[in-house]
């Protein structure tokens, strides 16, 4: 059983153009196969009640995926020694305001299709990120 605990969000709003880093500490063993196991960040806004895959990483080889909306601004990384996932968010925009969730599950080769929330069986508690204009 995997437990994911997020930190780094939920505080005061960040000004547009600012930066924020989210962390996600994992404990337990997933049971997913090594080749397809990945971790990801999803977000959900109040306007769209679906979880958008923002970024993902195969923790073994380190291959990464980014949604077009965050490419060049967000960086996903994983510290294998600490078993912790990170999302560095730079040049934040008001439209990045959302609840962010880390997740562990399955990704497909070359991220085709892109990460889908239904392929992830383990979720963090969520972290609110608010970007003020």
What's the confidence (pLDDT) of residue 15? 95
Q: Which of 29, 52, 32 is nearest to 41 (CA)?
A: 52
What DSSP string runs through 24-36?
A: EEEES-----TTT
Cβ contacts of residue 70 below 8 Å, gap of 6+? 54, 55, 89, 96
Q: Which two tokens stand for residue 59?
A: 């923790």
| pLDDT tens profile 37-79 | 899 999 998 777 788 999 999 987 789 999 999 999 999 999 9
Residue written as tokens 């490419």? 71
What's the confidence (pLDDT) of residue 71? 98
Q: Which of 97, 120, 77 is nearest to 12 (CA)?
A: 97
Mean pLDDT of 92-99: 96
| pLDDT tens profile 4-42 | 999 998 778 999 999 999 999 998 877 676 678 899 999
What's the full length of the chain, in residues?
133
Cβ contacts of residue 89 below 8 Å, gap of 6+? 19, 20, 21, 22, 70, 73, 74, 96, 129
Residue written as tokens 């196991």? 37
């Amino acid at each position: 059983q995997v437990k994911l605990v997020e930190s780094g969000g939920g505080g005061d709003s960040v000004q547009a153009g600012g930066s924020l880093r989210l962390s996600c500490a994992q404990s337990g063993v997933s049971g997913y196969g090594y080749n397809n196991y990945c971790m990801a960040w999803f977000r959900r806004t109040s306007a769209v009640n679906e979880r958008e895959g923002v970024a993902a990483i195969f923790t073994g080889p380190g291959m990464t995926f980014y949604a077009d909306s965050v490419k060049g601004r967000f960086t996903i990384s994983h510290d294998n020694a600490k078993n912790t996932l990170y999302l560095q968010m730079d040049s934040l925009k008001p439209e990045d305001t959302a609840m962010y969730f880390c997740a562990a599950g399955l990704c497909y080769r070359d991220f085709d299709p892109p990460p889908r929330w239904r392929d992830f069986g383990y979720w963090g508690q969520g972290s609110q990120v608010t970007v003020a204009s």
